[in-house]
Amino acid sequence: MNVATTSPRRKELVRIAARLFVEEGYDRTTVRMLAQEMGIKSGSLFHHFADKQEILCAVIEEGMFSALAIAHEHLANLDNSLAADTPRAQAHLRLLALARAHLDTLLTDRNAHVVALYEWRRIEGPAREHLVQQRDEYEALWRSAIEDGVATGLLRGDASLLRQFVLGALNWSVRWYRADGERSPDELAEALIDSVCHPQ
């Protein structure tokens, strides 16, 4: 009932909800479907969440949180391994790390981050605030990386537009990417970053 509660049981429920929301869409996922998949009856769901929208909130929060966490993780790896390089090369590697992290949560971990991107509109009221904050934090990572890219001549054009384009291309990949295809999410990330970076 408490939004902040993060019992292991709740974590599990959120994971299941995320999957269903991706498969069916939030609107078409009924509380009964959620309960069934969780092995309980629909009435019991409301012991864990105040209402259906709170489930969505929890999923989106989880999605944003893990996107942020994984992005930080990828960036941290970078700092450790290859610190000595040109600013331009560094900017390139950061972009690559962010793109890989993004597709990692989106296409590999799947679900929660996808919901965070695609069902955003359904959230209203005060719950939105918190989510907006998280999103801004995540975008700040990208903003800084892209600006560095522009500053070092790696990228050309308006930094703000570039961010929207790159994120858009990445986000949309959910729609067409098949896990059983010939390319890995990492290869996608590389291809995209390559296509917008100017060599030398």
User: What is the per-residue binding string for a copy of itself in 12-31, x denoting contact by CB under 8 A?
Assistant: -------------x-xx---
Among DNA, a copy of itself, none, what does residue 166 contact (CB within 5–8 Å per kind)? Answer: a copy of itself
In the complex with DNA, the residue whose CB is nearer, 12 or 85, is 12
Among a copy of itself, DNA, none, what does residue 53 contact (CB within 5–8 Å per kind)? Answer: DNA
Q: For 181, left (φ over 0), alpha (ψ -120 to 50), or beta?
A: beta
Element (H, E) at 55: helix 52-81
Interacting positions 138-157 with a copy of itself (CB under 8 A): 155-157
Can you tell me which of 30, 77, 108, 160 binds DNA, judged by CB under 7 A? 30
* Shortest spacing between CB 51 and DNA, in angstroms: 3
In the complex with a copy of itself, the residue whose CB is nearer, 79 or 158, is 158
User: DSSP assignment of 82-141, as one string?
Assistant: --SS-HHHHHHHHHHHHHHHHHIIIIII-THHHHHHHSGGG--THHHHHHHHHHHHHHHH
Terminal Cα distance for the chain, rounded? 55
Interacting positions 49-78 with a copy of itself (CB under 8 A): none
- Rounded CA-CA distance 82/133 in Å is 31
Q: Are 59 and 124 in contact (CB under 8 A)?
A: no
Can you tell me which of 6, 23, 25, 41 binds DNA, judged by CB under 7 A? 41
Please state the length of the chain. 200
**Residue that is written with structure tokens 């729609």 in the block:** 175
Is 39 a residue that touches a copy of itself (CB under 8 A)?
no
* Residues near a copy of itself (CB under 8 A): 25, 27-28, 121, 155-158, 161-162, 164-173, 175-176, 183, 188, 191-192, 194-196, 198
